[in-house]
Amino acid sequence: MNAVWPQLPALLVVIPLIAAALVALSRHGELAFALTLVVSWVLPVIAGAMLWQVLQTGPISYHIGGWEPPWGIEYRVDALNGFILVLVSSIGAVIVPAAWRSISFEITEGRLAWFYCMYLLCLAGLLGIAITGDAFNAFVFLEISSLASYVLIALGYDRRALLAAYQYLIMGTIGATFYVIGVGLLYLLTGSLNMVDIAARLGPAAPAQMPAIVAALAFLTVGISLKLALFPLHAWLPNAYAYAPSWITVFLSATATKVAIYLLIRYYFSVFGIAIDFAALPITEIVIVLSVAAMFIASLVAVFETNIKRMLAYSSVAQIGYITLGIGLANQAGLTGGLVHVVNHALMKAALFLGVCAIVYRACPVQLENLAGIGRKMPLAMAAFTIAGFGLIGTPGTAGFISKWYLAAGAFDKGWWPLVAVIVACSLIALVYVGRLLEVVWLREPSPGVAHATEPPASMLLPLIVLAAATIYFGFDTEWTVGVGSTAAKALLGGLR
């Protein structure tokens, strides 16, 4: 154990990478799933052990190949990315049992092994982005995860999945290009690619350097915002979520955008934090305006959407707005709220999309009117779905309430009363689209399409119930979410000023 302990950061990325290669070699669907299952259950243990260690003794720094930073690649785990690593790996572990039935149902048998290979690559990429302390290495992992997710989306049974994947590919590539240009500018300025080193070398920026720094910031912001689907750069998301295999939507909605959000936070607060006086730049205002626009417009679009996958996808765009709002507020309560919502939204949206997954598996329709009365056919699954829906609205007793409480408190601390009104108004819109969904699910007479639906198999039902229970649990016990979130926020803001 003592020999393994220091190698944990590398193992977290290496295990899924090697497993991906093995899965590709095996070309055997069941074997591939078994390996994926084992890997997915090992990873949260590693991530959890690292987070525990970070909270006990402070950040972990791991030097790949023994090369000292800033020359070699450094993996760096602190409270913030430890938190993200645990989130991503745990979501993977919880939902992976549902994959077998759902994916075998939606994908032709010959492609199963390739599917799990791509999933493991995507997972490795996401974990890599979160763990690395090297700006260019993050780009590499960003590409690994993105390329894998283009393939995963294209595997959807609907032919429109190809178009959605293509759309995402174009947008994602533009985003990655912007990102790498930003990193290049930083490299020109500092001669370093290590994030901590860049921050130290930038120091309090000299006026002559300002234009270059601002340009780098702008490129990075746009590049990462494309990946995290910040309004109005979200255009790829609804189609990608709607036409990807249902189970992949569960995974991507809960993890991919969250990791991109992490990267944005990392650049804003850790890399640029010392160099730039954020208050002097209009960047926080821009982020807040875009966040508010996302919350309002995407929520309104969700109200009028009739395809439930697209409805939930637009809801994701809106909920991402809540998170970026916390970043824009850039004070203790606001940033805590944003970080907590990263977890809470991941849980709730995973539950909701898993509910959709179950519906598709048992009944097939994704159009709202086809869903009529499905609550009577699969009451347990739909009860869990309903709980997650109330979480989205932010009713007290669910995790969503906690995030909104902190965000609103952050807005109050800044004296921005109208922003509080915006936050609650968006909850109201969420009430309308969730209410509309619940009304169809529970109160209509069952439609012919769902007449033969029954509860989903246990491998789907249990993860769904776990996620719904977590939505309630984290609405009461916030020691973990708010505790780690506020520690991370404090550290980030400490870097800021």
Partner 1 sequence: MNAVLSPESLVLIAVIVPFAGALVIPLFDKIPNVREAVTLVTAGCLCLAVFSLLAPVLDGARPRADVIRVAPGLDLAFEVEPLGMLFALVASTLWIVNSIYSIGYMRANAEPRQTVFYVCFAVALGSTIGLAFAKNLFTLFLLYEVLTISTYPLVTHRQDQEAIRAGRIYLLLLLGTSLVLFLPAIIATWVLAGTLDFTPGGILAGKAGAPLIAALLALYVFGIGKAALMPLHFWLPAAMVAPTPVSALLHAVAVVKAGVFTVAKVVVYVFGLDTLTKTGANDWLIFVASASLLTASFIALSRDNLKARLAYSTVSQLAYVVLGAALATTSGIIGSGLQIAIHAAAKITLFFCAGAIYTAHHLTEVSQMTGIGRKMPVTMLAFLIASLSIIGIPPLGGWSKWVLALGALDAGHTIVVGVMMLSSLLSAGYLLPIVARGFFSQPPGARVADKQVIEEAPAACLVALSCTAILCIVLFFVAGRIQTLLTGL
User: How many CB atoms within 10 Å of residue 174?
Assistant: 14
Interaxial angle between packed helices 308-329 and 246-265, expressed in degrees from 0 to 180 and rounded to the nearest 10: 10
DSSP symbol at 62: E
Residues 48, 397, 446, 449: which binds partner 1 (CB under 8 A)? 397
Mask of contacts with partner 1, 460-489, x by CB under 8 A? ---------------xxxx---x-------
Residues 10, 409, 469, 472: which binds partner 1 (CB under 8 A)? 409
Separation of CA 417 from chain center:
29
CB of residue 412 vs partner 1: minimum separation in angstroms?
5
Write the CA distances from 120 to 178, 197, 315, 465, integer angstroms. Answer: 26, 31, 27, 24
412 binds partner 1 (CB under 8 A): yes
289 binds partner 1 (CB under 8 A): no
Is the dihedral angle over the CA atoms 292, 298, 299, 301 positive or is it negative? positive
431 binds partner 1 (CB under 8 A): yes
396 binds partner 1 (CB under 8 A): yes
Integer Cα distance of 84 and 255 in angstroms: 9
Helix (H, G, I), strand (E, B) or coil at 194: strand
Integer Cα distance of 130 and 262 in angstroms: 7
In the window 69-108, what residues touch partner 1 (CB under 8 A)? Answer: none
Residues 427, 463, 465, 484: which binds partner 1 (CB under 8 A)? 427
CB of residue 57 vs partner 1: minimum separation in angstroms?
26
Stretch that binds partner 1, among 117-125, 175-183, 324-332, 394-402 (CB under 8 A): 394-402
Stretch that binds partner 1, among 27-35, 217-225, 286-294, 392-400 (CB under 8 A): 392-400
Stretch that binds partner 1, among 5-13, 229-237, 318-326, 413-421 (CB under 8 A): 413-421
CB of residue 375 vs partner 1: minimum separation in angstroms?
10
451 binds partner 1 (CB under 8 A): no
Would you say 437 and 382 are in contact if contact means Cβ atoms under 8 Å apart? no
Stretch that binds partner 1, among 100-108, 112-120, 251-259, 424-432 (CB under 8 A): 424-432
CB of residue 454 vs partner 1: minimum separation in angstroms?
17
Stretch that binds partner 1, among 70-78, 135-143, 183-191, 402-410 (CB under 8 A): 402-410
Residues 6+ away with beta carbon under 8 Å from 83? 51, 339, 343, 484, 485, 488
Residues 6+ away with beta carbon under 8 Å from 170? none
Residues 442, 457, 472, 491: which binds partner 1 (CB under 8 A)? 442
Helix (H, G, I), strand (E, B) or coil at 414: coil
390 binds partner 1 (CB under 8 A): yes
Would you say 356 and 407 are in contact if contact means Cβ atoms under 8 Å apart? no
32 versus 351: smaller Cβ distance to partner 1:
351
> Would you state the structure tokens that stand for residue 355, as one six-digit string?
């509910």
413 binds partner 1 (CB under 8 A): yes
Integer Cα distance of 400 and 392 in angstroms: 6
269 versus 474: smaller Cβ distance to partner 1:
474
277 binds partner 1 (CB under 8 A): no
> Burial level of 420, CB count in 10 A (0-12/13-18/19+)?
middle
Contacting residues toward partner 1, per CB under 8 A: 390, 393-397, 402, 405-406, 408-409, 412-413, 420-421, 424-425, 427-428, 431-432, 435, 439, 442-445, 475-478, 482
